Structure 1
């Protein structure tokens, strides 16, 4: 879309391109991750497109220079173990102390079975 084409950054304050039209030397975080890289600085540009999934109707993605990236360091065995333990803790219901088999929804604070029981009791 021509409305999102602003390679000079005059309209949006940062160089902007429509979805799938960014220059080859720029990449999003997901693209960098797929290449085994991570950004070292701030975004230098952005992608912009219309979307129904956004409250404003417009979504953006930050773009980074490929030259300003470094290799992503793999997680150590200890870090992987800590992340696995944290994920496991998020599955334990604070009321019934059972492993729910899924991450407990933060807005409920308890597993779905305990939440249903409290709704029936009320």
Structure 2
């Protein structure tokens, strides 16, 4: 194991206070939120069980990065949205697409910096 990987190897949680693993070395039953979502699961009230740490050389964000892990054995299925929740979401999205100037559905979410549809913005600019 390389020095960098050994630096982040702490399965007992002595050094980092929670179990910590290097990139791609976590046990298979520990998953990130995205991995749980891909399996149509949610954490289900459990706290963070472990973390993955890795050194990042990403431009603008160098340093150590972390990903939090949850135990798939305690995960619950995702809840389905009710009809009322879906209707409220549709209404909210329709309001974000309706231009206050011409009162029509633009077919896209209006840019917040303009507050009106692109056609009306061009007319105002001309």
Question: TM-score normalized by structure 1?
Answer: 0.69
Of the structure 1 ranges 66-75 and 90-99, higher mean CA displacement relative to structure 2 is found in: 90-99
Select which of 47, 51, 57 maps to 2:52.
47
| Displacement after TM superposition at 1:117 (Å) | 7.3
Contact 1:100–1:111 (Cα < 8 Å) also in 2: no
| Displacement after TM superposition at 1:27 (Å) | 0.9
| Displacement after TM superposition at 1:42 (Å) | 0.9
Cα distance between partner residues in 2 of 1:104 and 1:11: 49
Of the structure 1 ranges 77-86 and 61-70, higher mean CA displacement relative to structure 2 is found in: 77-86
Cα distance between partner residues in 2 of 1:58 and 1:93: 44
Unaligned runs of 5+ in 2: none
User: Which aligned segments of 4 or more residues in structure 1 are displaced greater than 6 angstroms?
Assistant: 114-118
Select which of 3, 14, 17 maps to 2:21.
17
State the match for 1:81 in structure 2. 87
State the match for 2:9 in structure 1. 5
Measured at CA, do residues 85 and 35 of structure 1 come closer, stay the same or move farther in structure 2, by a change above 3 Å?
same
Measured at CA, do residues 116 and 18 of structure 1 come closer, stay the same or move farther in structure 2, by a change above 3 Å?
farther
Q: What is the root-mean-square deviation in Å for CA atoms of aligned residues?
A: 3.0
Measured at CA, do residues 53 and 13 of structure 1 come closer, stay the same or move farther in structure 2, by a change above 3 Å?
farther
Q: Larger Cα Rg: Structure 1 or Structure 2? A: 2
| Displacement after TM superposition at 1:6 (Å) | 2.5
Unaligned runs of 5+ in 1: none
